[in-house]
Amino acid sequence: MKKTWVAVVAGIALVALTSVVTFFVIGFTGFDSEEYHDVSVSRRYNIFDGYSLCEAALKKTISGQVQNVVSDDRAAKYDRISNTNQMFFEASYLPEVGLFGAVSKIEKRLYARCDVSAETNVVEAISLREVDEEIFSEVHKQP
């Protein structure tokens, strides 16, 4: 009988200790602070409101004749830190060759990331990378 009481008291003490530790972690580490729930940042536009803006900016940014631009609705996300909607595209194009704007007959593919302000719905950056590369190169950046 005494072992049962010891187990009950130990269980209650463990629950109380866990509650106290949780309270201090949330209260003093800023886990539940404004940083994570920033209401001062306005997010007026949804992720796909800037889709056509990104597509047009991407076509202007690529030097050559754009053949196809595709995206997937799963290839987009909201970045809370920069307050931007990020969309990802795959584009195929015929690159410019020579001095007079002639285009190559060999089609190339690249991946693009477009950052659109969630507050103003303005394209802030276009980053491109060739299919076989691993790192995006920023091509267009709003001041």
Tens place of pLDDT per residue across the chain (143 aa):
677 877 777 778 777 778 767 766 666 665 544 445 455 567 788 888 899 999 999 999 888 888 899 987 788 999 989 899 999 999 998 888 877 777 788 888 999 999 999 999 999 999 998 888 777 777 766 65
Per-residue burial over 65-77, b if 16 or more Cβ lie within 10 Å, else e, is: ebeebebeeeebe
List pLDDT tens digits, range 63-99.
888 889 998 778 899 998 989 999 999 999 888 887 7
Q: State pTM to two decimals.
A: 0.63
